[in-house]
């Protein structure tokens, strides 16, 4: 691994550390949103329903941004493949790219559901 590749990988790891901190925040925000969802279902509290929806929309917006970052990173890995890389590395890098693409698509779908489901009928789960 060259010095440039090492520096690039260390930069990626620093960004991933930051993403883990964001995920911890998302866990707490999800927990908090469950409080409002519970209040809505038990007391039919419309204000709690709107708070729940806004939090969920915020969570999925952040997640889609993170997913797009990792998709872009995966695409860069795919472009960086060399002709002399092993077939296994090429295949696994391509599969990683496809997986990242599917995660972006699922994030966008979940965000769409969170925005459109005004009655809070669809349970939105994280993958």
Q: What is the pLDDT of residues 30-73, one digit of tens each?
A: 999 999 999 999 999 999 999 999 999 999 999 999 999 999 99
Rounded to whole angstroms, the Cα distance separating 51 from 43 reads 14
Q: Which is nearest to 120 in space by CA: 52, 47, 61?
A: 52
Q: Token digits for 89?
A: 């590395």
Residue 127 confidence (pLDDT) above 60:
no
- pLDDT at 39 (0 to 100): 95
Reported as a single tens digit per residue, the pLDDT across 68-109 is 999 999 999 999 999 999 999 999 999 999 999 999 999 999
- pLDDT at 119 (0 to 100): 79
Q: Token digits for 8?
A: 């690039």
Collapsed DSSP state (helix, strand, coil) of residue 20: helix
Rounded to whole angstroms, the Cα distance separating 13 from 98 reads 21
- pLDDT at 56 (0 to 100): 93
Rounded to whole angstroms, the Cα distance separating 37 from 40 reads 5
What pTM was estimated for this model as a whole?
A: 0.86
pLDDT tier at 122, thresholds 50, 70, 90:
low
Dihedral pair phi/psi, residue 125, rounded to 5°? -120, 155
- Among 1-5, 13-17, 43-47, 96-100, the range scoring the smallest mean pLDDT is 1-5
Rounded to whole angstroms, the Cα distance separating 12 from 6 reads 10
């Amino acid at each position: 691994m060259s010095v440039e590749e090492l520096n690039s990988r260390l930069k990626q790891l620093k960004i991933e550390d930051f993403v883990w901190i964001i995920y911890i925040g998302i866990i707490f925000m999800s927990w908090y949103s469950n409080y409002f969802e519970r209040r809505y279902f038990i007391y039919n509290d419309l204000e709690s329903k709107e708070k729940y929806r806004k939090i969920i929309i915020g969570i999925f917006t952040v997640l889609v941004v993170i997913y797009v970052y990792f998709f872009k990173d995966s695409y860069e890995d795919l472009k960086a493949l060399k002709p002399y890389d092993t077939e296994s590395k090429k295949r696994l890098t391509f599969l990683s790219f496809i997986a990242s693409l599917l995660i972006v698509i699922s994030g966008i779908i979940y965000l769409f559901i969170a925005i459109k489901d005004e009655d809070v009928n669809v349970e939105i789960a994280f993958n």
